[in-house]
Amino acid sequence: LTRGVAGTSAVDLGGRTTLPELAAVLSGARVVVAPNTGPAHLAAAAGTPVVSLFAPVVPSARWAPYGVPTVLLGDQHASCRDTRARVCPVPGHPCLETIDPADVCRAVTALVQPGAQVG
């Protein structure tokens, strides 16, 4: 999966770092794009802004990355909301499938260049 995301224009580090190495990579990034998983929180702990692809199975007010500029993407009102599910209970992942890659790019730009026109 990570190889497919990285393509030929990025370095694929999927499964190739220890936790301290991953923390170092995340702390050196200008922005991290991640789902609501450990790496998003590790990036925030390292002081790196986060674009969070956030499935609403837990409340974002309590579980989103904390303490850094963050943009949440994903339908926070989807039917999986507050289910605490570890496996999507709704066919097709509707809370995340509607995220447009252009929205991710705009969110990254907004965090890298605060005040930039991104819409």
Phi first, then psi, for residue 57 (nearest 5°) are -65, -20
Q: Where are the domains of the chain?
A: 2-112
- What separation, in Å, do the N-terminal and C-terminal C-alpha atoms of the chain show? 29
CA within 13 Å, CB half, 26: 26
Residue 5 parent element (H or E): helix 2-6
For residue range 101-118, what is the model confidence (pLDDT) as tens digits?
A: 999 999 999 999 876 655
What whole-number distance in Å separates Cα of residue 37 and Cα of residue 118? 26
pTM score > 0.75 for this model? yes
| pLDDT tens string 16-54 | 999 999 999 999 999 999 988 899 999 999 999 999 998
Residue with structure tokens 């790196």?
48
Q: How far apart are CA 78 and CA 39, in angstroms?
A: 23
Q: What top-level class would CATH report for the domain 2-112? A: alpha beta
